[in-house]
A = this chain, B = another copy of it.
Amino acid sequence: MDLHALDRYIKSLIKEAGHRIRSSFRMEIEIESKSHINDLVTNIDKEIENFFIERIRQDYPGHRIFGEEGFGDDIKDMEGVIWLLDPIDGTMNFVHQQRNFAISLGIYHDGVGQLGYIYDVVNDDLYHAVKDGGAYFNDEKMKPLEETSIADAIVAINAMWVTPNRYVRHEDTIRLIQDVRGTRSYGSAALELAFLASGRIDAYISMRLSPWDIAGGAVIVNEVGGITSNFKGEQPNLLGSDTFIAANPSIHGRILSDYIQIK
């Protein structure tokens, strides 16, 4: 696989998809709910996923596609080359804010992340990484994450996970909130991973994410030295929904050992 040729191809594809999304702001958007009332999807999510799939099937017929909207392949293993795609990560922000959402894309080969992309469509900011080739914010090389501590950390976590939930003891999450310097919540896993890789936050925690939410971001985060795992400390689940933490290496282990108790 020629990673650099594929990287150039993907960048051009993502920019074209971003242009289509920005153009959609002038149209009426159709909004539906999926698994639950606040799990939104729009016609634009679907159109953009189909745009990617048509191009990939034509230009890379041997590759498989695992997309949020389900128009790709039925993925049950990680063999070969797989594109993990969220055409609009942060659909609620897309609908309510027309900003703070991203195209999220990871290219994996036999389960190993090779290329990662997070495209902040409205700001025209592309975060990307090539495995062992560095991570970039637009054309600027991103620096390795600097050491930090729990007390100095800014953690991205949605307030929902500080309330009683079925995944973890929320009493522990409360202690985490109280022990860190501050918390934030932006409503897009992909952007939160981009911010982590940029050093603007030091950890990102979610009780339930899907492979396409994290696949692209994990490649970028890993490339600057950040650690990604589920709450058991295992490699992130790329085949189904799971818990997820991405963090600065100096606090990843301590958050898991001291502040997360799985139910």
Contact = CB atoms under 8 A, between A and B. Distances in A.
Contacts of A183: 158-160, 185
Interface in A181-198: 181-187, 195
Count copies of this chain in the complex: 2
Given A38-B182, A154-B96, A182-B187, A177 B159 contact: yes
A201 B157 CA distance: 18
Contact of A177 (B154, B160, B182): B160
A200 interface: yes
A154 B184 contact: no
Contacts of A97: 195, 200-201
Contacts of A37: 151
Contacts of A159: 157-159, 162, 177, 183, 185
Name the residue among A96, A151, A177, A195 with the largest chain B CB count within 10 angstroms.
A96
A181 B92 contact: yes
Nearest to A181: B38
A199 B98 CA distance: 10
A223 B249 CA distance: 46
A37 B96 CA distance: 35
A260 to B, nearest CB: 15
A235 B157 CA distance: 32
A159 B92 CA distance: 19
A154 to B, nearest CB: 5
Contacts of A92: 154, 181-182
A3 interface: no
Interface in A89-148: 92, 96-97, 99
A164 interface: yes
10 tightest CB-CB pairs across the interface, nearest first? A97-B200, A163-B174, A159-B159, A185-B185, A162-B162, A159-B183, A159-B162, A38-B181, A159-B177, A184-B185
Interface of A: 37-38, 92, 96-97, 99, 151, 154, 157-160, 162-164, 174, 177-178, 181-187, 195, 199-201
